[in-house]
Amino acid sequence: MTQNNDPSMDPAGTTQHFRRFVDENPEPEEAPRRPILPLVLAGVGVLLAIAIIVALVLAFS
């Protein structure tokens, strides 16, 4: 087994740099998800409007 006799080698240095990097660069937050309920309600509204129009056309034709 060889020994590293380099006096400038700091075994904890890379860990400290990594921890500082993680502390200064936090993970980006996820973008908030858009709620699905308004889209569902809009779809139901469109289908209801189409059904009413079709019913009126059938009733008066």
Cα 4 to chain centroid distance, Å, stands at 45
Task: Give me the residues of the chain with pLDDT under 50, please.
Answer: 1
Tell the residue number behind the tokens 């502390």, with chain if given.
Answer: 23
What is the pLDDT at residue 5?
59
7: CB partners within 8 A, 6+ apart: none
Q: What is the average pLDDT score of the chain? A: 80
What is the pLDDT at residue 9?
61
Interior CA angle at 46 toward 40 and 48, to 5°?
100
Of 31, 30, 14, nearest to 22 (Cα)?
14
